[in-house]
Amino acid sequence: MSKADKLFVNMCRDILHDGFSSEGQIVRARWEDGTPAHTIKKFGIVNRYDLQEEFPALTLRPTAIKSAVDEMLWIWQKKSNNIKDLNSHIWDEWADEDGSIGKAYGYQLGVKYKFPHGEMDQVDNVLWQLKNTPYSRRIMTNIYKFDDLMEMGLEPCAYSMTFNVTGNRLNGILNQRSQDILAANNWNVVQYSVLIHMMAQVSGLKPGELVHVISDAHIYDRHVDIISEMIERPQYPAPKFILNPEVKNFYDFTTDDIRVEDYQKNPQIKNIPIAV
């Protein structure tokens, strides 16, 4: 059975049984009808995924893997902040009339900085270091830029990635300030697992471990029954992930270069209410 499923089930049970409820507190998020969107949360969740063991896509419900990767490439490869460059509509409500989400996400990864080895953006710096100084302990990105926060459509949730090479394996730590467990947990896990696969391949390395650190891991009140049903579903073996071995340049990857085989999964959960 999928280790990602087991990890997800244990995390959700921990939150539901021992989490803190925001009932009675003032909360920012609202449901579509204007009702306060309360949560049950745990602070400081750390999940580890060994990408040599399996590809951590949930089988409890299907993750739209290609759509998740398309968003990841929109941020990391296109370095775009315009939803017109994205093939899904998940960012529509945070965009202005021109399609921009402001100085957020991809915009920040495209800003150039001066490094000892030249002027480049954060992604190119990671790629340069993985090829030239792979055992550096300074291979990282950060898109939570305080002086630009007021010009962002949404402050970044997943804001920092630290890469670390151990032997011939590329590991990564994803830091996330906040996460809606039902809507986004496996979406982000899949995205950054694929990113590690891609970065490893173009750097002559093998994918290692993804460590996902979530400061505020929460389940919304209107998601409790959905989660409770979901974690009792049958679990299946993890799917097989295949990345086109011919691609040697990170900027050449497309969603057509990923293939997922033997993905047994439960039915999709439809009409999930989203708090904003």
Tokens matching residue 257: 């270069």
Indicate the DSSP class of residue 269: P
Residue 201 is assigned to a ligand binding site: no
The residues pairing with 20 across neighbouring beta strands, listed in sequence order, are 41
∠252-254-260 over CA atoms, to 5°? Answer: 130
179 is in an annotated binding site: yes
Q: Binding residue per annotation — 164? A: no
Residue 188, marked binder:
yes
157 is annotated as an active-site residue: yes
Total number of residues shown for the chain = 276
List, in sequence order, every beta strand (DSSP E) within 157-205: 158-166, 169-180
Q: Where are the alpha helices (DSSP H) in the chain?
A: 3-18, 65-76, 106-110, 122-132, 181-202, 224-230
Q: How many CB atoms lie within 10 A of CB 41?
A: 21
What are the structure tokens assigned to 137, written together? 């302990």
Q: What burial class does residue 206 get, using C-beta atoms within 10 Å of its C-beta: 0-12 exposed, 13-18 middle, 19+ buried?
A: middle
* Residue 180 among known ligand-binding residues: yes
Which residue is catalytic, options 16, 64, 120, 157? 157
Is the C-alpha dihedral spanning 65, 171, 43, 59 positive or negative?
Answer: positive
Query: Is 197 labeled as ligand-binding?
Result: no
- Gap between the Cα atoms of 180 and 69, Å rounded: 19
The verdict on whether residue 178 carries a ligand-binding annotation is yes
Closest alpha carbon to 4 in 62, 68, 43, 72: 62
| Catalytic residue numbers, as ranges | 157
Binding site members: 137-138, 177-180, 188, 218-220, 275
In the annotated binding site for dUMP, the residues are 137-138, 177-180, 188, 218-220
